[in-house]
C-alpha cells in the first residue's frame, strides 16, 4: 500500500539508533526497522512521534507530518 499511498513513511537508517521505540509504539505490531512498508501499517504516525532522532519521516503528499525534525542536528 505505501508504494501507491499518498501517506508515506520513510526510515533514515543513518539517523536510526535502533532503540526499538518505534516498534514498541506501533498499535499494529509492525516491525518498522524490518519493513516500514508493511501492509499491516495503518500510517498512524506513532512510530515517528516517539523516534528520538527523527529518523522516521511521515508525509502526506509533500507535507511532512512528523512532529520531529532531525533531532540533535
Domain locations along the chain: 7-64
pLDDT at 40: 92
Run of H or E including 50: helix 46-50
For 59, residues 6+ apart whose C-beta sits below 8 A from its C-beta are 7, 8, 10, 65, 66
- Cα distance between residue 23 and residue 3, in whole Å: 21
C-alpha cell at 22: 518505534
Residue 4 has pLDDT above 80, yes or no: no
**Predicted confidence (pLDDT) per residue in 16-64, tens digit:** 999 999 999 999 999 999 998 888 988 888 999 999 999 998 877 666 6
Q: Are strands 7-11 and 56-60 parallel, antiparallel or unpaired?
A: antiparallel
Architecture of domain 7-64: 2-Layer Sandwich (3.30)
Amino acid at each position: 500500500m505505501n508504494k501507491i499511498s499518498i501517506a508515506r513513511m520513510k526510515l533514515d537508517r543513518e539517523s536510526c539508533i535502533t532503540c526499538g521505540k518505534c516498534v514498541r509504539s506501533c498499535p499494529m505490531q509492525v516491525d518498522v526497522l524490518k519493513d516500514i512498508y508493511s501492509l499491516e501499517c495503518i500510517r498512524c504516525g506513532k512510530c515517528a512521534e516517539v523516534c528520538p532522532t527523527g529518523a522516521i519521516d511521515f508525509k502526506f503528499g509533500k507535507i511532512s507530518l512528523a512532529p520531529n525534525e532531525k533531532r540533535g542536528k
